[in-house]
Every structure is written in structure tokens, then in C-alpha cells.
Chains A and B, each alone.
Chain A
Amino acid sequence: MTGPVTWLSRHLQAALGAAGRLTRAPLATLFTVGVIGLAFALPLGLKLFVDNARAATGDFANAVDLSVYFRIGTPLEKVEQLATRARARAGVATVTVIPADAALAEFRQYSGFGAALDAIEGNPLPHVLAVRPQAGADTPPQLAKLQEYFTSWPEVELVQMDIEWVNRFNAILEVLRRTLLIAAAVLGLGVLAVVGNTIRLEIQNRRAEIEVTKLVGGSNAFVRRPFLYTGTLYGLLGALLACAIVYAATAVLAPAVADLARAYGSRFEMLGVSPRDALRLLGGGAALGWIGAWLAAARHLRSIEPQA
């Protein structure tokens, strides 16, 4: 019935009309877009926080070190010898020997218990091996096997795996991630309601126009189209605003985060909003706006029939 060019020009007309209408009431548009933008900025910011926390701690969160404590009195030569053997084992990246004397010196220097240590005869600290598994060979069963290997040496008193705090940290991140999902779902519903309500008001304001349009043969699709574009634009602009808000927040935070990282001896730099996340938000925002407008239009447009 109608060619693709006509179809395209109809949609272009509706889209431009919707855009024009938004610019003609800038304050109202600003408020609506502002509310949507804030609703989107919160989950986006939370996502960025989780991503950053993961990236900042990624180095040590993923590499689990084993500490192998020897019995007091094991000769250092024996320890060196076993360390060499351990280095040859598959799945082991590095093995560092920390002799008891070095450990004591370090402890004396940093702990402030120097005087107390002087009162103790001899060195209470054992020789220790710091073992780092190879990346890719650090699954829980592989780590357990490695732990078993070291435990089997008669000279070894204790093998400690620094895995618990990693588990805890990952659990915290998981809680945050789920909070993020819940926040996104709830705020997404909020955006639906905001767009739906705004479109409902606009339909009421343009009642006369809708009536006349139907009177001269405008189909429901024709009448609905500009409202769908309006809703989509609200969602898109809200998402853009959210990106801008989070981008600005990142810019403000980044130097402070860099200082904090430096204080911990890290060269971590804060991650910004990735283009992929920004695109996702823009797409999701447009979709939510469209759905909100569609719900409002389906409900309220049908009831407007021309009266002569």
C-alpha cells in the first residue's frame, strides 16, 4: 500500500515532530529527562564502582599465594633444596625463600616489638616459602593438590593458603553486584512509570488534536507514533544525561582514587564508563522509554474517539 520511502518519511516526520515538541517545552522536558537521568545514573555508577573494585584488587584477588612454614630448626640448606625441587613442579610460578633471620629482622624493624624480641632467646620464627601458583593452575582442586604436596614433606609444619579473604572479598562483590541488579530493575520500573505518566499527560493535552486526526482517518498507529518517539527520546536523553553525570563524577573522583592507590603503592587508575556500557545504557534507555510510551498510548489513545 505504501512504499518504503513514504514509510520512512512518515517515521521521520513523527520523530522530528516529537523532538520539536520536546524543545518547545524545555523546562518540562528538562525535568522529565533529569528524573530519568538520575534513575539511570545510580545503577551505572554502582556498576562502575563494582568494576573498579574488581580491577583494583584483581592482581591479588585472583592469584592465591601459599605460605609454607617449616619446623623450627630445619636447616636453611634443606629448605633451599626443597624450594629448588618445588620450582620444578608443574603449576608453580615462583617460589621465594624467606629465611628465619630475614623474617626476624623485618619483624623487628616494622612491628615495634624489638625490645620484646631481645628478651627471647634464639629466633622464634621459622623459615618460610612463599609459593605463587601459575596463572591458570589456581583452581580450588589444583590448589588443594599443591597444598597436599607441600604438607607431605616431613620438615613442613603448616601450609597456609590465603584464600579465605579472597572468598570473602568476592562474596562482598557479589552482594554489590546483586544490589546493582535490584537497583537497576527497580529504577527501570520507575523510568517506565515516569515516561508513561508524562505521555499520559501529553495525550490529555493533545486530546483535541487526536480527535480531529482520527476524524479525518488517522489510524491508531499514526496517532500513536509521535508519542512512541517522544517516549524513546526521553529514555535516550535520560541515558545520555546519566552517562554525563557518571562521567563527571569519574573525573572528580579519579585524582583522589589515584592518590589513594599511590598511598598503597599501587599504580591503579580508575576506570571510566566503557563505551560498551554506555551503548548498553543508551539502548536500554530508549527501549524503556518506548515501552513506557507504548503502555500509556495503548491505554489512553483507544478511549479518545471523535465526537461530532
Chain B
Amino acid sequence: MIRFERVAKRYPNGREAISGVSFDVQRGEMVFLTGRSGAGKSTVLKLIALLERPTRGVVTVNGQSTGALPARRIPAFRRAIGVVFQDHKLLVDRPVFDNVALPLVVAGTPLRELDKRVRAALDQVGLLGKERLLPLELSVGEQQRVGIARAVISKPAVLIADEPTGNLDPELALEVMNVFRRFQEVGTTVMVATHDMHLVREFGKREIVLEGGHVRGVEDVQVPTIGAAPA
């Protein structure tokens, strides 16, 4: 579902964020992307979401190579991917409902469907009933979950998250991670970048470890966890 083949990314300032990165994520799999800050985790996610294009190598997501995708097809490509950001990137002047509905609105979903689907997405992250509140009226954990609801509302095949638990206490972090696992269980390919090794160990999913812009290793932790579907 997500395939990196000897991918390198050099930014205009000359810094090479990653190089020679190769890995493969199967459809319906959930993997963690770990490593210190600066190891290249964010760059990998940006390449998947097509916020950046690879300098060398091939990034294939959902069967499409991102390097050659014409600009006019980028919107459709992005609609098939849900992205969760550490700083959630919510529109603070719009109520929760509008934030969550945005991916459907840009996709031209009929208005009568919006209400039902927004409520369903908020229900999945445990925020039903908060549609009319503004993001800043919510706790940090709740804001993060609004971001997740927005990422999953259009039922993307791929869900990626950049440090989604970075600002959360351990209890909330576990809760948010469980939300991701539930999406994996219904068939979504999930990739979570994190440096929270505790959580990674606890979930027992495959882990891609980055170090200094290279893949240091892929660890197949096969600890069966209660509620987790077999890989």
C-alpha cells in the first residue's frame, strides 16, 4: 500500500533529510515509524501525503507513484489519504462540525449526507455532541481527536499521523492510539510516527526505525495484543 524504494529527499537548503530509504507497508497493516527528532520521520510522512516529492527513488502510495503525478491530480490523491498532525491544523474560527466536514465538502459530498457522516466520525473518536463547539473550547486531547475525525471522515485507504500523542498525557495517548488501531481493524492502512516507545511496545505492531535519514531496522514485534486483529 505504501512502498518506498531507495528514496532520498534533499530540501532546497541542501539538507538531505533521508536517503536510501526503502520499506513496504501492506494493505490494512498498522506500522509505527520511530526515531529521534530529525531522523526523517516527518519527511517520510510528507512524501506519503505528497506535501513533498522525492528527490530520488520512488514513493508509491495506493498504487500511484507520487513523483510523476501531475499537479492537477494532487487534490484527488490527497483525498484518498487521511493525515493527522501533531499541531492538528484545525481552523480555530470554525466549529468542530465545519472542521470535520471539510474533506467531504471539498470532495463535493451532498449536503444532506454531511450531518450523518460528521456525527459518525465524531462518534468514532468519542466526541459526539461537541459539533457546535470551537476547537479552542476543547481540551488538547479532544482537539487531537477532532483532527483524527477529520482525517478519517472520507474513509481514506491510508491514514498517517505525525506524533499524534506528542502533547498528550499517557492515558490520553493510549486512548488516541486505540482510535488508530480501531481504524486498522476495519481495513485502513495506518502509519503512525512517534517517539513514544512505551506505546509502540505495548501495541506490538511492526516498527520502522529511522536514524539519521536511513532505515536502521524493521522490527517485527509479534506480541499478540488483546483486541488486535492478526496481521
Query: Which residues of A are interface residues toward B (Cβ below 8 A)?
Result: 2, 5-7, 9-10, 13, 208-209, 211-220, 222, 305-308
Contact = CB atoms under 8 A, between A and B. Distances in A.
Contact of A218 (B51, B72, B106): B106
Nearest to A208: B91
B95 to A, nearest CB: 14
Interface string B109-122: 01100000000000
B79 A217 contact: yes
15 contacts: A5-B110, A9-B111, A215-B51, A215-B89, A216-B78, A216-B106, A217-B75, A217-B77, A217-B78, A218-B106, A220-B72, A222-B75, A308-B42, A308-B83, A308-B162
B83 A215 contact: yes
Contacts of A306: 51
Prevailing SS type, chain B contact patch: helix
B45 interface: yes
B85 A308 contact: yes
Interface residues of B, number: 27
B2 interface: no
Looking at chain A's contact residues, is the secondary structure mostly helix, strand, loop, or mixed?
helix
Interface of B: 42, 45-46, 49, 51, 72, 75-79, 83, 85, 89-91, 102-103, 105-108, 110-111, 150, 154, 162
A2, A13, A217, most chain B CB atoms within 10 A: A217
Given A216-B79, A219-B106, 5 more contacts: A6-B108, A13-B111, A213-B106, A215-B89, A217-B77
Contact of B75 (A5, A9, A219): A219
Contacts of B42: 308
A226 B89 CA distance: 21
B110 A6 contact: yes
A10 B109 CA distance: 9
Contacts of A13: 105, 111
A213 B103 CA distance: 8
B102 A213 contact: yes
A280 B167 CA distance: 58
B13 to A, nearest CB: 14
Top-10 shortest CB links A-B: A217-B79, A218-B106, A217-B78, A219-B75, A216-B103, A217-B75, A2-B108, A6-B108, A308-B51, A308-B46
Contacts of A218: 75, 102, 106
B82 to A, nearest CB: 9
A7 B106 CA distance: 12
Most buried by B among A7, A13, A219: A219
A222 to B, nearest CB: 5
Contacts of B89: 211-212, 215
Contacts of A214: 75, 78
B83 A217 contact: no
A307 B42 CA distance: 11
